[in-house]
Amino acid sequence: MKRFGFLSFGHYSLKPDKTGKYGAQEALNQAVELGQIADELGVNGAYFRVHHFAPQYSSPIPLLSAIAATTNTIEVGTGVIDMRYENPLGLAEEVAALDLLSDQRIAIGVSRGSPETALRGWEAFGYGGPELAREDPKGAALAAEKFDTFLAALRGDGMATAAPFEQQYPQMFRSGTQLPVLPHSPGADRRIWWGAATHASAELAARKGVNLMSSTLVFETNGSSLGDVQAEQIARYRREWEKAGHDWEPRVSVSRPIFPIVDGSDAQIFGPAGSGESHDSIGVLDDQRGIFGRTLVDTPDKIVEALKNDKAVMAADTLMLTIPNQAGVAVNARILENFAQHVAPELGWEPATRG
């Protein structure tokens, strides 16, 4: 583990009090503030979940832009954007612009997405329809097609044909020329991650030439721990990457809920040391049985020991700490500070630096 960051789900209340407490505006402002504090601590990344039709973050690019504009070294990203809801060319334009404005400090995770509160909510966004719903009820094929288009656009491939010269305004291109979406940020595609909950999805990410964001849950429930299953997923991803012959080194991330207990005030907030879950959780998501990671609430030495024994954490280069964003900035800053001072150095952490 060389890097660590925080992963926020962005929950807020639909009925904030008269001051706006716990509402959407406060959640967004607190995310920016926490990003700034994390940047000062040398934390490597600020990552955000994306969900639609729910009181959580839903339009990440403005939020990431606000954090990038007010920080110096921290990378900003998502975990993950649901491609079923996206216009792939529009997203490619926004991601390229953010990459340029942030001096290439992005880590944009995308995937098919997880279940939503809406029934095929992407149809309300203008994608799909009754016929597609019968053929592709979960939108997996729709997301895959959009992802391919998004990657091609981000890599600068032609996406439209230039009009006859005399019809163009401004007159810039030879008639029939294939036009890329603009702006173009060279290398931005190497800062794209695919969120994978299965071995097959991870192998596909390798073939497509993007980084791997191993999901907060995995579906290969064979009795092994989450860390062991993810470690196998990471190994398969790297083998497939080598077979594909890509000419650069990819990144891999995993996420864990971790609360270091350094003193009595931490214990009052998070519970006494050792009060976390002793085993991974088993649950059903999207009609599939999956493994969720356990929550670590313990002293730094015990957390270091647990993470060193977590094969996936040690195989990945980036660890995302899932945080309770509704707990407020001070509480979440304390989690990051405790982890940066007492845990991360024992795991090989390299604080963020410019360039």
pLDDT in tens, 286-301: 666 777 888 999 999 9
Extract the tokens encoding 179: 């036009």
Provide the total of helices (H) and of strands (E) in the chain, helices listed first: 12, 15
Asked whether the beta carbons of 350 and 73 are under 8 A apart, the reply is no
- Phi, psi (degrees; rounded to nearest 5) at 287: 65, 20
pLDDT of residue 12 exceeding 70, the answer is yes
Decide if 271 is inside a domain.
yes
Asked whether the beta carbons of 60 and 78 are under 8 A apart, the reply is yes
Mean pLDDT, rounded, for 20-48: 94
Decide if 195 is inside a domain.
yes
C-alpha span between 172 and 113 (Å, rounded):
39
Model confidence pLDDT, tens digit, residues 85-135: 999 999 999 999 999 999 999 999 999 988 889 999 999 999 998 888 899
Decide if 176 is inside a domain.
no
Higher pLDDT, 17 or 332: 332
- Phi, psi (degrees; rounded to nearest 5) at 85: -95, -5
Decide if 133 is inside a domain.
no
Asked whether the beta carbons of 315 and 231 are under 8 A apart, the reply is yes
pLDDT of residue 236 exceeding 60, the answer is yes
Asked whether the beta carbons of 195 and 110 are under 8 A apart, the reply is yes
Looking at every residue in the chain, the average pLDDT score rounds to: 94
Number of domains in the chain: 1
Decide if 188 is inside a domain.
yes
Element (H, E) at 239: helix 226-244
Decide if 77 is inside a domain.
yes
Torsion of CA 114, 115, 116, 118, to 10 degrees: 140
CA distances from 276 to 5, 146, 295 (A): 21, 40, 5
Domain that holds residue 76: 3-126+184-283+291-347
- CB proximity list for 53: less than 8 A, separation 6 or greater: 116, 117, 118, 121
Model confidence pLDDT, tens digit, residues 182-200: 999 999 999 999 999 999 9
pLDDT at position 160, please?
Answer: 98
Decide if 204 is inside a domain.
yes
Model confidence pLDDT, tens digit, residues 169-180: 999 999 999 999
CATH number, domain containing residue 189: 3.20.20.30
- Residue type at position 15: K
List own/partner pairs for 138-141 with CB under 8 A and 24 or more apart. Answer: 138/112, 138/286, 139/84, 139/112, 139/113, 140/112
pLDDT of residue 136 exceeding 60, the answer is yes
C-alpha span between 107 and 187 (Å, rounded):
12
Extract the tokens encoding 58: 């839903």
pLDDT at position 286, please?
Answer: 65
Give the confidence band of 74 by pLDDT, cuts at 50, 70, 90.
very high
Asked whether the beta carbons of 157 and 180 are under 8 A apart, the reply is yes
Decide if 146 is inside a domain.
no
Mean pLDDT, rounded, for 303-309: 97
255: which strand partners?
320
